Amino acid sequence: MARTVIVGASVGGVRTAQALRAEGYRGEIVLVGEEEVAPYDKPPLSKALLAGTATAKSIGMLPERAAIDAGIRCQRGRAATAVSLRERRVQLADGTAIEFDDLVVATGARARTSPWGNPPGVHVLRTLADAEELGAALRQGGPLVVIGAGFIGAEVASTAVGLGVREVTMVDPVEVPLSRVLSPGVASQVAALHERHGVTTRFGVGVTDVVPRSGGLEVRLADGSTLQAATVVVGIGAVPNDDWLDGSGITTDDGVVCDQFSRSVDDPHVWAVGDVARWWHVRQQRSVRVEHWTNAVQQAECVAHNIVHPADLRSHAPVEYVWSDQYDWKLHVVGCTDGDQQHVLVGGGAPERSFAVLYAAADGSFTGAVIVNWPKALVTCRRSLALGRVPLAQVRADVEALQPKSHGVRGAAR
Amino acid sequence: MAVVKADLGACQGYANCIMGADDVFDIDDDGVVVVLRTEVEESERARVEAAARSCPVSALAVEDR
Ligand SMILES: Cc1cc2nc3c(=O)[nH]c(=O)nc-3n(C[C@H](O)[C@H](O)[C@H](O)COP(=O)(O)OP(=O)(O)OC[C@H]3O[C@@H](n4cnc5c(N)ncnc54)[C@H](O)[C@@H]3O)c2cc1C
Ligand code: SF4
């Protein structure tokens, strides 16, 4: 019987296994994961799980019963260490090996480690164990210093405030939070949101060191100032878990290098899914690696289809989508929204807390949006992006038409 | 025929399900999913199940009736 081995048992791996069955795959499916705990989902780690309103059980992705029913053999607590393409085998840390017909690499990414060392009190956030340790630390109170104002850092700051931690400071060498995806105007509104909730922001200044000091930590900044902390969270990005493929003949370059079908450029039966995949995006005409939940799920569906239907290969060319929950704000980013593109603001029912910023390319076609607290606008924008090349004016009219009639608030154009 | 079920309390308005099957799912002004049809043909089941798998909070299920 044919066998697909999937290495990495989080959302990318689990959804590939499930989608294989949904596509009618009849072979064996083996899902290998290095963690001992049952597969769980990551977005809640910086939100509900850290806040204590979700549990390890409630964020589980594949209960044992569901795995058995779907015929998915789970191998927990076993890290993959190497692959032999010639022998069609994955080597595991416990010395055993599993043979495959198709191999799906879904090993995700790990938190970039602190360049300032790891004295007690310094945390990163990537795994359930990380979240549990950080949650326990935050329940001891503050002060908390968050280094890095990307999604994870901003969410940790917001959750910590919700937990009652006093003295929360966010530090980032760039001038505004979430600068990789937000234009400066929107980013400064996010900064203002944090400040309204009592978070101190130190943007535009880098960290030079983190040193243990009288029972706590001292964070030293490039301008010579220092911050005292009981807990420091380092949220400075993630690194793909592709080193275990070194020497296998599977090319990696900041992720497993794949063609447009998410298939390794070296072997038509090796695939990659999720945060660890770097694939050729046909619409963007460049190779990309994306660290977003929905991308992992869509890529899993695509790879499962391609394994089952080799004569009808599908390209993975998604429209980017990521969400983030901070305080009472739901922030959604779709498509391409960075840099200095032209953009317009459309206010929703309560324009100070619900709005959409729509972005356009030089030719006036709609490229992406940042949407705050306005799900209907999110749907409209995602639909327009899926169609492709819709004029900004059209999307703007469609979004403006969504305003709840009863409020009578006019969209503020900018 | 299969039956589509939604946990309206769990739904967080991510709209992934709508992108997967906008003939079955929509969203209301409060950002909660609306199931447009509770019954789907077997022939559409795979597509609707894929839409359900794309929900980040597992609020959707497609079950035998
Ligand atoms: C705290 C946090 C919050 C997030 N919030 C959001 C959000 O709000 N919205 C959003 O869109 N995205 C969010 N993300 C990103 C999203 O969770 C990731 O894009 C998604 O988890 C990627 O899934 P993956 O399966 O590719 O990789 P991962 O989730 O990284 O899973 C990889 C798995 O592989 C295992 N593994 C690694 N190496 C090996 C090996 N050698 N052998 C066996 N197993 C191995 C790991 O243990 C892990 O379980 C968040 C991420 C984090 C960490
Ligand atoms: S994907 Fe899930 S959370 Fe999002 S709208 Fe659909 S049911 Fe709600």
Task: Please write the tens of the pLDDT for every residue from A328-342.
Answer: 999 999 999 876 788
Q: A85: burial class by Cβ within 10 Å (0-12, 13-18, 19+)?
A: middle
Distance between CA atoms of residues B42 and B65, nearest Å: 11
**Of B27, B31, B49, which is closest to A22 when you measure between CB atoms?**
B49
Distance between CA atoms of residues A42 and A56, nearest Å: 11
* Ranges of residues in chain A whose predicted pLDDT is under 50: 406-414
Report the pLDDT averaged over residues B37-56. 94
Q: Where are the domains of chain B?
A: 2-64
Q: Are the C-beta atoms of A13 and A62 separated by less than 8 Å?
A: no
Residue A28 half-sphere exposure toward CB, CA atoms < 13 A: 13
What pLDDT was estimated at residue A342? 87
Measured in Å, how far apart are chain B's first and last C-alpha atoms? 7
List the one residue out of A261, A264, A271, A278 whose CA is nearest residue A315. A261
What pLDDT was estimated at residue A262? 98
**Of B15, B54, B56, which is closest to A379 when you measure between CB atoms?**
B15
Query: Which ligand is closest in space to the CA of residue A376?
Result: 2
Q: Are the C-beta atoms of A197 and A161 separated by less than 8 Å?
A: yes
What pLDDT was estimated at residue A388? 87
Ligand 1 within 6 A of CB of A152 = yes
Residue A138 DSSP symbol: H
Distance between CA atoms of residues B56 and A43, nearest Å: 9
Q: For chain A, which domains are there?
A: 3-110+239-308 (3.50.50.60), 113-236 (3.50.50.60), 328-401 (3.30.390.30)
What pLDDT was estimated at residue A184? 83
Tally C-beta pairs within 8 A across A and B. 52
Closest-CA distance of chain A to residue B28, Å? 7
Beta bridge partners of B4: B62
**DSSP H helices in A163-257:** 184-196
SS3 A306: helix
List the one residue out of A110, A231, A57, A244 whose CA is nearest residue A160. A231
Q: Which residues have a Cβ under 8 Å from the Cβ of A208 and sit 6 or more positions away?
A: A116, A220, A221, A222
Ligand 1 within 6 A of CB of A12 = yes
What pLDDT was estimated at residue A181? 83
What CATH number does domain B2-64 carry, 3.30.70.20, 3.40.710.10, 3.40.1350.10, 3.40.50.300? 3.30.70.20
How many helices (DSSP H) and strands (DSSP E) are in chain A? 9, 26
Q: Which residues have a Cβ under 8 Å from the Cβ of A14 and sit 6 or more positions away?
A: A31, A39, A61, A62
Q: Hey, are the CB atoms on A301 and B16 less than 8 Å from each other?
A: no
Q: Hey, are the CB atoms on B22 and A383 less than 8 Å from each other?
A: yes
What pLDDT was estimated at residue A404? 65
pLDDT tens for each residue of B5-28: 999 999 999 999 999 999 999 999
Length of chain A: 414
